[in-house]
Structures are given as C-alpha cells and as structure tokens.
Amino acid sequence: MTEPPELVAWRDLCRRLEQAGADLVAGGYPADTAEGFAHLSEQVVCWLAWSVHHADPRRPAFHRQNDLVTQWGGPNNENVYRHARIDPGLRYRITGRMHSCEEFVLALRAGFMHEPQWGTRREVTASELGIARGDEFELLLGPGSTIEIPDGVAMVSIREYYFDWRAEEPATMVIECLDEDGPAPPVVGRELAAQLSAAAASVERSMSYWNTYMVDARAEGADNTFAASQRLAKGLAVARYAFCFWSLGPDEALVVETDPPDARYWSFQLYSLGWFEPIDPPGRITSRNHLQCPADDDGRIRVVVAHRDPGVGNWLDTGSRRDGLLTLRWFWPTGDAAPVPSASVVAVSDVAVSGVAASGVGGPPADHRAEQAARRRHVAWRFRV
C-alpha cells in the first residue's frame, strides 16, 4: 500500500529535526546544548506555524514572532514583530489602533533573512503615514492602493516600537484580503507535505544561518572591541548597527563610551551566542535605549556590561555569560556621521572610580530591582495574550 504524501513528509520532518538536534552536540555550536535544544524547540514552533498555518495569502493572519517564545535573528527588544503572507496581485486592508505603540515600520519583503530569497522591497513608517500613538488607522495594500506591493514580495512585516516601556495597552491590528473568495478549501495531502518540508527547511536554515552569522562576525574582529558600523544591503533602509563581542571574567566589566548617535532612536542590547536571542528581557536589564540611558556630564554615553551590578546607572546584565554580543543600533539617522563607540575592560570594583567620565561611569547608582520590576510589567503587557 502506498503511503500518503503527508505521512511521508511527516516522517521526513521528524528525521530532519532529529538530525538538527544531533548537529547541536556535534560541534560548531555553543557548548550549552540544553539552551540550544530549547532554541531548537522555539524554531519548530515558529516555522511549523508559519509554513503550515500562515501559508495562504488569500486568508492572511498576522503571525507574531520574536516575542518571548519564538526568537531568532537578533530581535530588537523594543519591538513586536508581526508577519503575514501576501500576494502582489491581491488587495489587503490592515486596520488597528496604536494604543501605546509609538512607531511602526511596515516592510514588504521577499522573505526572511535566513531564506534563499529575502530582502525588503518597500518600507513605510507610521509617522510617514501621519499615524501617532493612540490613533486608529486603516491601510490599503495592493493594486490601486496607497501602498503598492512590488513584484517578488511574499510577506508584509510590521515592527512595532515601544520606547518608554510603560505598562500600557500595546497596538492591536488585523489584516484581511479584500479579494478572498470564500472559505478555505479542505487540506490536500501533497500541499500539506510541501508545507511540512518548507517548515523543516526553515528550522534547519534558522539554526545554521544565525550561528554561522555570529561566528563569522566575531572572527572578523577582536573581542571587547567594536567593529565598524554596518547597514544591511537588503534590510531596512533606516537601520544601522555596530557589533562588539564581549569576553569577560567573573570580576571584569566592559565599559563602553560613545557620543549619542545622531538618530531618532538608538539602543544597546545584549544577545546570546549561537542562538542570537536577547538575554532574558523580562528578568534582567539587558538593553537600554535613548530614553533609558542618560548621558554623563560631558554629554557622552557610557554603559557598563558586567555579570553583577557595578553600582552605576547604565548597567547591562550579562546573565552570567562569559561571552556574548553587544549591539549598538540606531534607526532613522538624521545625518551621515556614524558613532564611533570605544570599549575597555576594567575590574568591576574599579568601574565607579575609574575616572573615565566626568560624573563617574554611566551615571549615578540606580535601583535596578525597581527598574527591572517596571520593565517586567511592560513586557507582560506588550506580549499579552
């Protein structure tokens, strides 16, 4: 008896996931394989849902990724990410309310960065559309609409921005296809088989691509030193980045110093190696943006990356990781000049008296427990279900 294609595809999916797990412990990935398997399980959840349950551009629904569960590819701690399948030949309507969301970027994309076909073909922001915090909005996409969909686009992505991290209602929005022509047809075995195969490929690519991406980026420079700033050729036009991989002993701290980027928004954020995930946003202070990172008396920004509280305000908590990635990102630059951050390793006990800043390093001591409690309340609201 011939096996149905969905059974063949399911067995293939399971074999490929088993191999992905074996690859984690075979070398080339970070030594913390338990964390690696947790990340692998996230990728299974993420890409099975995207490939199987968000596959039809005639019946789109937003798939939320890079929340507290399905992280990949260095997500921004200030964002909520939503993605939906679309077709350039169809018309769509997105309606919603901003609530506490302060900005969004709507990007029409060929695919995700770890896929063979990827890149942003068009982008527009809420502020460019005259949409502000608290506003209701309606956006029309597709032929004859305000937002045309270029050829080759496979998805619409929306990145919501929350700069002040207040515990308030986040944005709500839905997408609908205006050319939808009735209920979805019954599931067909060969179609489902193709979707399962696509999910397996996405899991494999996400696991290998981002680990290799970080290994290669680290090899291009020296630890505890910032590499030159960069802009992704096919990424968001508004985005700029600078990377610094840290390697710190238990009693060491990395002191980072820079002029404030000439941009509407900037932030420092910490990530784990291999998985490129933010380090415990609800439980630790592992990011600081332009509203959360006060300058010293001389106008310079200084932050301290350390395993324990160094007694200054602008502390970033490594989560006891000896090695990791610190990113400086700035969006919507208002000039061509890029910041040139510097970094130096000092003893944690010397941070507050190191004399590299007019008022000490990273501002005066802060109540980080209260700060983290407030951040945790915001995160609970932002990713509420």
Q: Is residue 217 part of a domain?
A: no
Q: Is residue 216 part of a domain?
A: no
Strand partners, 161: 79, 103
Tell me if 62 sits within 8 A of 106, measured CB to CB: no
Q: With a cut of 70, which residues of the chain have pLDDT below it? A: 231-235, 353-365, 385
The structure tokens listed for 284 are 């630790």
C-alpha–C-alpha distance, residues 70 and 281, integer Å: 14
In this prediction the pTM is 0.93
pLDDT of residue 13: 98
Indicate if 66 and 137 belong to the same structural domain: yes
Indicate if 200 and 331 belong to the same structural domain: no
Indicate if 235 and 145 belong to the same structural domain: no
CA torsion through residues 270, 274, 276, 280, sign: negative
pLDDT of residue 233: 60
Residue 284 sits in a domain whose CATH number is 2.60.120.1600
Kindly provide the residue ranges of all beta strands, DSSP E only, lying in 248-341, ordered along the sequence: 252-258, 263-271, 287-289, 301-306, 315-317, 323-333
Measured CA to CA in angstroms, residue 290 lies from 4, 78, 127 at distances of 55, 11, 18
DSSP annotation of 365: -
pLDDT of residue 356: 44
Q: Is residue 24 part of a domain?
A: yes
The structure tokens listed for 212 are 């290799």
pLDDT of residue 353: 58
3-state secondary structure of 326: strand
Contacts with 347 (C-beta within 8 Å, 6 or more apart), sequence order = 251, 252, 253
Place of tokens 């995700």: 112
C-alpha–C-alpha distance, residues 148 and 91, integer Å: 9
Indicate if 197 and 232 belong to the same structural domain: no
Tell me if 305 sits within 8 A of 326, measured CB to CB: yes
| pLDDT tens profile 218-255 | 999 999 999 987 766 656 778 889 999 999 999 999 99
Q: Is residue 69 part of a domain?
A: yes
Indicate if 260 and 349 belong to the same structural domain: yes
Indicate if 376 and 252 belong to the same structural domain: yes
Domain boundary among 162, 177, 211: 211
Q: Is residue 39 part of a domain?
A: yes
Indicate if 362 and 229 belong to the same structural domain: yes
Indicate if 146 and 237 belong to the same structural domain: no
Q: Is residue 378 part of a domain?
A: yes
Strand pairing of 263-271 and 172-177? unpaired
Provide the residue type at 177 as one letter. C
3-state secondary structure of 296: coil
Structurally, the chain folds into a number of domains equal to: 2
pLDDT of residue 358: 37
Measured CA to CA in angstroms, residue 86 lies from 68, 81, 93, 114 at distances of 25, 16, 11, 19
Domain boundary among 188, 211, 234: 211
Indicate if 299 and 228 belong to the same structural domain: yes
| pLDDT tens profile 140-169 | 999 999 999 999 999 999 999 999 999 999
Indicate if 75 and 128 belong to the same structural domain: yes
C-alpha–C-alpha distance, residues 385 and 379, integer Å: 12
Shortest CA distance to 272 belongs to which of 1, 52, 10, 35?
35
Measured CA to CA in angstroms, residue 334 lies from 17, 206, 341 at distances of 45, 33, 18
Q: Which domain holds residue 15?
A: 5-211
